[in-house]
Amino acid sequence: MYAQFIKELIDLPDVLIQKVRKEEERWIFELSPTEQCPLCPVCLKRTIKMTGKKKQWMHGYAQRIGIFWVELPVERRRCGTCGMTFSTSYPGISPRSVATDAFQQWAAQCCIGTSIQAVARMLKLPYTTVERWFYTHAPSFLSNDIQPKAVCVDEFAFRKGHDYGVAVMDAETGEVYAVEAGKNEEAIGRALAHVSDSVQYVVSDLAPAMKKAIQGMCPEAKHVVDDFHVIQLFTEALDRCRKSLGKEGKKHGHVRYVCRFLTQCPEKLTEEERQTVQKWQKESDSLQAVYQSLQHYVSKSQNERQAKRRLNAWIHRYLFCPCSAVRAIAKALVKRTDEIISCILSPYSNGKMEGTNNKIKLMKRRGYGYRNIQRFALRVRLETANILS
């Protein structure tokens, strides 16, 4: 019965337990593999043993004795036919690790509901080691059946002009599915590959690379342009007009004061503020054209037919406007009519993603690499799935 208990405790295939010994505070189970001759991985011929040594791995934990180890022989062998040399290995045991896969998964499971630091103290192991095990095996705790209905895709700059990234997030739950380096079509495609099977709506900005990647990875999904990025075309044009008129002032508060007047709906301004805006419009025809095009832009509609009619009327009115900035906006929208109509009718937006992107940018500024950013995305997924307390 004792031997049977030990065998179930070890739970490794094709090994025999020779004996148990104790070295200082470490309990070690000496194991030996069944008699076999490993074949060459290249030509599958018989091999010859060159050297051999024994190596130890952490394999389990008991309350009274702590961590117990297993010891197995590792041989260096050579193929007599092709001359290939290699080291033997065992299933479930990485030759470069200090612990078996089963022990790493158990330690990662112990981190659920408590802190990684507490588990590291219990096992008397370095915090970084337990943390690496946790983030390696934590994805297995999540459901492999990722079927989001709508996702948000957005690029963000760690350093503008140098370092960029792409993130994919669930538009309803805020769960981050992927973070990839780069902002080109290939990087966006890699990020969308995680959710391409089930997604029905993909929300993104007006970048051409976004459109190509979405059409390539999610051809059946409906592409929705984020409303914020459409309005941003108008606000940037208004900001250029403001600077050309010299209304920026020297104080930052005055800049916000002017921007609020130009971007706010007239109904939300006081009578004095509306008169101020009208005065600015009389000073510049360009400012007046951009301001009126923004106020006339179709933001929401009841149905697709109404949205298409209103959008076509807006484009017909401003496509040949004397103001070059308004013409450029109209030309950008006329090329993306289907996505703009989906934007008008869809309740989804990239609003939730801006906060996530800001957190990722802050991590990068503090010196974190992509491995830690991937860990942050995984932690968001675990918290969203209520796996972490």
Mean pLDDT of the chain: 78
Q: What is the C-alpha separation between 179 and 176, in angstroms, rounded?
A: 8
pLDDT value at 51 more than 70 = yes
Q: How confident is the model at residue 64 (pLDDT cuts 50, 70, 90)?
A: confident
pLDDT score, position 245: 66
* Residues facing 60 on adjacent strands: 68
Rounded percentage of the chain residues whose pLDDT exceeds 70: 80
Better pLDDT: 10 or 156: 156
Please tell me the predicted confidence (pLDDT) of residue 351. 67
Supply the pLDDT for residue 380.
Answer: 62
pLDDT, tens digit, 9 for 90 and up, residues 274-312? 888 888 888 888 888 888 888 888 777 777 788 888 888
Between 58 and 389, the higher pLDDT residue: 58
Q: What are the DSSP calls for 165-203, one per residue?
A: EEEEEETTT--EEEEEE--SHHHHHHHHTTTTTT--EEE
Tokens for 101, please give them. Answer: 């896969």
Task: Over range 188-201, report the average pLDDT.
Answer: 84
pLDDT of 370 over the 60 cut = no
What mean pLDDT comes out for the span 7-25? 72
- pLDDT tens digits, 124-150: 899 989 888 888 887 777 665 667 888
**Predicted pLDDT at 6:** 53
Backbone angles phi, psi at 199, to 5 degrees: -70, 140
pLDDT band at residue 365 using 50, 70 and 90 as cut-offs: very low
Model pLDDT for residues 200-254, shown as the tens digit of each residue: 888 888 888 888 888 888 888 888 888 888 888 888 888 887 776 665 444 444 7
154 band by pLDDT with thresholds 50, 70 and 90: confident
What is the reported pLDDT for 146? 67
The answer on pLDDT for 12 being more than 80 is no
Q: Given a cut of 80, is residue 106 above it in pLDDT? A: yes
Contact 54, 73 (CB under 8 A): yes
Whole-angstrom distance, CA of residue 201 vs CA of residue 242: 36
Q: Give the residue-averaged pLDDT of 26-50.
A: 82
Please list, residue by residue across 38-73, b when 16 or more beta carbons sit within 10 angstroms of its beta carbon and e when fewer do: bebeeeeeebeeeeeeeeebbbbeeeeeebbbbbbe
Mean pLDDT lowest among 4-8, 30-34, 140-144 = 4-8
Distance in Å from the first CA to the final CA of the chain: 39
Q: Is the pLDDT of residue 100 over 70?
A: yes
Q: Which pTM does this prediction carry?
A: 0.59
The more confident residue out of 95 and 117 is 117
Q: Decide if pLDDT at 363 tops 70.
A: no
Q: What is the DSSP letter of 272?
A: H
Q: How many CB atoms lie within 10 A of CB 344?
A: 22
